[in-house]
Copies of this chain bind each other. A is one copy, B any other.
Amino acid sequence: MTTIRDVARVAGVSIATVSRVFNGSTRVSDSTRERVWSVTENLDYWPNSAARTLTTNRTQTLGVLLPDLCGEFFSEVIRGIDLAAREESYQILVSSSHSTPEALVSGAKLMRGRVDGLIMMATDVGSEDDIRQICQRFQVILLNPRHASSSNGSIAVANFDGAFAAVEHLIRLGHRTIAMVKGPPGNGDAEERLRGYRTAFDVNGLRHEPRLELPGNFRESSGYDAVMALAALDSRPSAFFAANDKMATGVLSGLGVLGLHVPRDVAVVGFDDIGIARYLDPPLTTVRVDAFDLGKRGVLQLLAQLRSPDDASRRQEVLSATLVVRQSCGAHTRNTLDMQRSEGHSHPGRSGNDSGRSNP
């Protein structure tokens, strides 16, 4: 393994000079510089980044701590992080699939000395202490934090606003009995979405009935189950709001089994706008969260923070969640299949995910 010493020896200079050449110092004569470069080339020398880090305390690397890499949403977040980081010549060190706060901390420990800053998505049950522990060692940007505290930069997702907009939209369409399939208890996103649901009723002078708030766990099956649970009731809801798209898919299945047509008999709205949402039958009205942008913004804010670490004003950004109206809510009158087709073709090859590259 060739080191800077080898280059220095062969070039007949000191290692300090070689180092200067690599770091673009001007205090090197042209002839020396050329000689060093040429030797470097011949010896095919690659500097050791770890050693460099030890002295400079800089890594050109951003740590990414995620609770789980499963699912489209996280993939998109990672993609956003990666692209933004690459743009700024940073690499990313990923440690994911952390299901417990302890695992999160141990992942963070391994990053000590190997990253300039951290982008972190806290777990559902994230212990505040553990997170604080991490935050006092690294420059951190929290993605979708439980509680935005001013001591850390963060990018929150407008769960409340999105849910509110979705339910208000249903109310505007004339719905009064709107069921909600909730997310898992203790999950911050789920709670905010539920709050948005309830508030939409309040604001419009309506009452939200507890019996219409059905348990769910973000999985498809719980959407299905929710429909079945309500099927027996006397006054069935005219609309369903599911706390995520997967459960909305289950709701569609359940309604199909019951012989109910969507949106003619029942309206359905989801949350997330996952890839398949527009391909469902009928295309799902949902609330879109731009996961890619979430990651990208995290990087940009972290980099800004790294550049002015003393700046105490850590920003708390909020990523908007926007209602995407398709067919499942009944707002459109067009034929469902026609719409699906035309939507599929109106932007050929222009979807955000379309890299135009081979798969694989």
Contact = CB atoms under 8 A, between A and B. Distances in A.
Contacts of A110: 49, 60, 91
Interface in A184-239: 184, 187-190, 217-222, 224
A360 B77 contact: yes
Nearest to A347: B220
A166 interface: no
Interface string A173-189: 00000000001100111
Nearest to A337: B281
A281 B342 CA distance: 13
B94 A348 contact: no
Given A49-B114, A50-B113, A93-B93, A218 B356 contact: yes
B220 A359 contact: no
Nearest to A105: B46
Contacts of A220: 348-349, 351, 354
Interface size class of A (residues with CB under 8 A): 35 or more
Given A61-B93, A275-B276, A217 B360 contact: no
A114 B344 CA distance: 44
B91 A359 contact: no
A40 to B, nearest CB: 12
Contacts of A113: 48-51
Interface stretch (A12-20, A27-35, A63-71, A303-311): A63-71
Interface in A92-139: 92-97, 107, 109-114, 121, 124, 133, 137
Interface string A270-298: 01101110011100000001010010000
Contact of A218 (B187, B351, B359): B359
A345 B111 CA distance: 42
B345 A224 contact: yes
A163 B245 CA distance: 33
Contacts of A77: 360
Contacts of A83: 69, 97
Interface in A229-266: 244-246, 249-250, 252-253, 256-257
A268 to B, nearest CB: 14
B51 A358 contact: no
B82 A218 contact: no
Contacts of A142: none
Contacts of A51: 54, 113
Nearest to A46: B112
Given A50-B113, A61-B93, A281-B281, A275 B72 contact: yes
A302 interface: no
A353 B71 contact: yes
Interface string A72-94: 11111111001100100001111
A130 B109 CA distance: 34
Given A49-B111, A279-B281, 20 more contacts: A46-B112, A69-B83, A70-B79, A72-B75, A75-B76, A83-B97, A91-B94, A114-B114, A124-B357, A157-B360, A218-B357, A219-B354, A219-B356, A220-B349, A249-B344, A256-B345, A275-B276, A281-B337, A289-B360, A291-B359
A77 B91 CA distance: 18
